[in-house]
Amino acid sequence: MKIEGTGALVAGGASGLGAATARLLHERGAAVVIADMNAEKGEALAAELGDRARFAEADVTAPEPVQAAVEAAAEAEGGLRICVSCAGIGWAQRTAGKQGPHDLEIFHNVIKVNLIGTFNVLRLAAASMIENDPDAGGERGVCVNTASIAAFDGQIGQVAYSASKGGIVGLTLPAARDLAGRGVRVVTIAPGTFDTPLLAALSQEARDELGAQVPFPNRLGDPAEFAALACHAVENPMLNGETIRLDGALRMPPR
């Protein structure tokens, strides 16, 4: 799938991995819709990028605003052909402990945002993509989702987060099979520890310690590296139904 001249939607695109991806897609010639709940950051990024960039305020768990963002991206010449889902939240709590059982409402909310939100974006974007004319290779679109290595190596306190990201890994292959006959690919990236707003509350010492756990390169991941892989997934037609770890060979310890 060529990036230049296409319509792209980046959910959670106002900061972190999503912002880096929006920037790179735009740099490579896509018309990008940045969908996010943070209007201030989203509008600022769209203004920074200029032509071919716009912001759409959207909660990924709500069908109507996501559909509006999809329709905005589909206005691009050739329609919506690229969708990258980066919206997500984190939470740390043990299944049960001194404070009692894990808060069920919080568990539900993490699943709702990370898993249901990702699927909501995927289903609506794919429904738009299948209406596109196929390109020379028969492709109509590519959907890139964001999981985490916590889907495989969940740490103590990550039961909700790991479950939500494991669900994204689990839906990748069946979604790809569902859409294969319509020329739409589905790929998931499972990043390790990246320098994103999720880690912003930590001290520099703590961030350095996290980076030191990565075998090589011995540092936190750069969001631009995630963006590069997302764009490669778009451009490589044989990447389909797969989850790719992007973690510098990191395997998370129990804590």
Task: Give, for 66, the enclosing helix (H) or strand (E).
Answer: helix 63-74
- In angstroms, the CA 31 to CA 208 distance is 36
Nearest to 11 by CA among 109, 117, 86: 86
Task: Show the CA angle centred on residue 128, arms to residues 233 and 78, nearest 5°.
Answer: 70
151 among known catalytic residues: no
Write down the catalytic residue from 55, 91, 119, 161: 161
Query: Do residues 168 and 121 make contact, with C-beta atoms less than 8 angstroms apart?
Result: no
**Contact at 8 Å (CB) between 9 and 16?**
no
Residue 11 CA to residue 145 CA, distance in Å, equals: 10
Beta-sheet pairing, 184-191 with 242-246 = parallel
What residues act catalytically? 161
